[in-house]
Amino acid sequence: MGATTTIKYEPVIGLEIHAELLTNTKMFCRCPVVDPTISPPNTAVCVVCTGQPGVLPVINKRAVEYAIMVGLALNCEIRETSIFARKNYFYPDLPKGYQISQYEYPLCINGWLDIELENGQTKRIGIRRAHLEEDTAKNTHLNDGTSLIDFNRSGVALLEIVTEPDLRSAEEVEAFARKLRAILQYLGVNNGDMSKGVLRMEPNISVRPIGSDELWTRTEVKNLNSIRNVARATAYEIERQISTYESGGQVIQQTMGWDELRQITVPQRGKEDAHDYRYFPEPDLPPLQVSHEWIEEIRAKMPELPDVKRQRYMDELGLGEYDASVLVADRAIAEWFELAVSEGGDPKNLANWIIVEMFRLMNKDGLEREQISEIKIQPAQLVALIKLVEDRIINNNTAKKVLATMYAEGGDPVEIVKAQGLAQETDSSVLQAAIEQVLDENPDEVQRWLNGEEKVEKFLFGQVMRALKGKADAQILGPLLNTALRNRHE
Ligand code: ADP
Ligand code: MG
Ligand code: ZN
Residue 21 falls inside a structural domain: yes
For ligand 1, say whether the CB of 204 is within 6 Å of any of its atoms: yes
71 CA distance to ligand 1 centroid (A)?
19
- Measured CA to CA in angstroms, residue 150 lies from 89, 159, 201, 222, 349 at distances of 19, 20, 22, 20, 49
Residue 131 falls inside a structural domain: yes
Read off the pLDDT band of 320 (50, 70, 90): very high
Residue 364 falls inside a structural domain: yes
Q: How would you classify the pairing of strands 254-259 and 219-222?
A: parallel
Q: How many domains does the chain have?
A: 3
Cα torsion angle, 33, 37, 40, 41, sign: positive
202 CA distance to ligand 2 centroid (A)?
8
At how many degrees (to 10) do helices 428-441 and 443-450 cross? 100
User: Residue 4: its pLDDT value, please?
Assistant: 59
Mean pLDDT of 218-246: 96
Same domain membership, residue 458 and residue 379: no
| Statement: residue 271 has pLDDT above 70 | no
Asked if 157 and 172 count as a contact pair (C-beta separation under 8 A), the reply is no
pLDDT over 70 for what percent of the chain? Answer: 98
For ligand 1, say whether the CB of 14 is within 6 Å of any of its atoms: yes
User: Residue 423: its pLDDT value, please?
Assistant: 86
Q: Which ligand is nearest to the CA of 16?
A: 1
Same domain membership, residue 438 and residue 382: no
User: Residue 490: its pLDDT value, please?
Assistant: 66
For ligand 1, say whether the CB of 10 is within 6 Å of any of its atoms: no
Examine the fold and report which residue of 296, 323, 341 is the final residue of a domain before the chain moves on.
296
Residue 2 falls inside a structural domain: no
- pTM metric for this prediction: 0.86
Same domain membership, residue 237 and residue 312: no
pLDDT tens, position by position, 150-206:
999 999 999 999 999 999 999 999 999 999 999 999 999 999 999 989 999 999 999
pLDDT tens, position by position, 347-361:
999 999 999 999 999
Mean pLDDT of 12-30: 98
User: Residue 90: its pLDDT value, please?
Assistant: 87
Same domain membership, residue 71 and residue 33: yes
Which atom number of ligand 1 is nearest to the Cα of residue 205? 25
116 CA distance to ligand 1 centroid (A)?
23
For ligand 1, say whether the CB of 310 is within 6 Å of any of its atoms: no
For ligand 1, say whether the CB of 215 is within 6 Å of any of its atoms: yes
Mean pLDDT of 372-385: 97
Mean pLDDT of 223-248: 96
Cα torsion angle, 223, 227, 228, 230, sign: positive
The environment of the single-atom ion ligand 3, i.e. residues with CB closer than 5 A, is 29, 31, 46, 48-49
- Residue of 210, 221, 184 whose CA lies nearest to 14: 221
Domain CATH number, residue 456 = 1.10.10.410
Alpha carbons 151 and 51: distance in angstroms, whole number: 10
Examine the fold and report which residue of 259, 278, 296 is the final residue of a domain before the chain moves on.
296
For ligand 1, say whether the CB of 164 is within 6 Å of any of its atoms: yes
219 burial via Cβ count (<10 Å: 0-12, 13-18, 19+): buried
| Residues in a beta bridge with 127 | 111, 163
154 CA distance to ligand 3 centroid (A)?
8
Residue 3 falls inside a structural domain: no
User: Residue 5: its pLDDT value, please?
Assistant: 67
For ligand 1, say whether the CB of 272 is within 6 Å of any of its atoms: no
Residue 338 falls inside a structural domain: yes
Beta sheet of 98-102, edge-to-edge order: 98-102, 84-88, 280-281
User: Residue 1: its pLDDT value, please?
Assistant: 45
Beta sheet of 219-222, edge-to-edge order: 77-78, 108-116, 122-134, 157-163, 9-20, 199-209, 219-222, 254-259, 264-270
- Measured CA to CA in angstroms, residue 346 lies from 250, 321, 337, 342, 400 at distances of 58, 17, 11, 10, 17
Same domain membership, residue 93 and residue 196: yes
- How many residues belong to the chain? 490
At how many degrees (to 10) do helices 170-187 and 306-317 cross? 80
| Residues in a beta bridge with 206 | 12
Mutate which of 74, 103, 218, 241 to test ligand 1's pocket (most atoms within 8 Å of Cβ)? 218
Mutate which of 10, 15, 16 to test ligand 1's pocket (most atoms within 8 Å of Cβ)? 16
Same domain membership, residue 224 and residue 206: yes
Which atom number of ligand 1 is nearest to the Cα of residue 162? 14
Same domain membership, residue 460 and residue 414: no
**Residue nearest to ligand 1 atom 13, measured at CA:** 14
**Residue nearest to ligand 1 atom 5, measured at CA:** 162
Examine the fold and report which residue of 242, 263, 296 is the final residue of a domain before the chain moves on.
296
Same domain membership, residue 184 and residue 122: yes
| Statement: residue 3 has pLDDT above 60 | no
Same domain membership, residue 343 and residue 226: no
For ligand 1, say whether the CB of 163 is within 6 Å of any of its atoms: yes
**Residue nearest to ligand 1 atom 11, measured at CA:** 14
Which atom number of ligand 1 is nearest to the Cα of residue 166? 16
Bigger pLDDT: 301 vs 469:
301
Q: Which ligand is nearest to the CA of 219?
A: 1
pLDDT tens, position by position, 121-157:
999 999 999 999 999 999 999 999 999 999 999 999 9
User: Residue 2: its pLDDT value, please?
Assistant: 47
| Residues in a beta bridge with 99 | 87
Alpha carbons 22 and 209: distance in angstroms, whole number: 42
Range of the domain at 398: 304-420
pLDDT over 90 for what percent of the chain? Answer: 89
pLDDT tens, position by position, 384-437:
999 999 998 999 999 999 999 999 999 999 999 999 888 888 888 999 999 999
The Cα diameter of the chain in Å comes to: 106
- Residue 344: DSSP 8-state: T
Tell me the one-letter amino acid at 108: C
Residue 22 falls inside a structural domain: yes
**Residue nearest to ligand 1 atom 24, measured at CA:** 206
User: Residue 122: its pLDDT value, please?
Assistant: 93
Same domain membership, residue 174 and residue 46: yes
Read off the pLDDT band of 273 (50, 70, 90): low
Mean pLDDT of 229-239: 98
- Residue of 193, 256, 192, 249 whose CA lies nearest to 221: 256
Q: Residues near 147 by Cβ (< 8 Å), separated by ≥ 6?
A: 92, 139, 140, 141
28-32 own/partner pairs: CB under 8 Å, 24+ apart? 28/57, 28/58, 28/59, 28/60, 28/100, 28/134, 28/155, 29/57, 29/58, 29/155, 31/155
Same domain membership, residue 273 and residue 222: yes
- Residue 374: DSSP 8-state: G
Q: How would you classify the pairing of strands 219-222 and 199-209?
A: antiparallel
**Integer Rg of the chain from CA:** 30
Q: Which ligand is nearest to the CA of 11?
A: 1
Asked if 302 and 98 count as a contact pair (C-beta separation under 8 A), the reply is no
Same domain membership, residue 206 and residue 68: yes
User: Residue 120: its pLDDT value, please?
Assistant: 83
Secondary-structure percent of the chain, ordered helix, strand, coil, rounded to 5: 40, 20, 40
For ligand 1, say whether the CB of 207 is within 6 Å of any of its atoms: no
For ligand 1, say whether the CB of 377 is within 6 Å of any of its atoms: no
- Residue 369: DSSP 8-state: G
Residue 370 falls inside a structural domain: yes
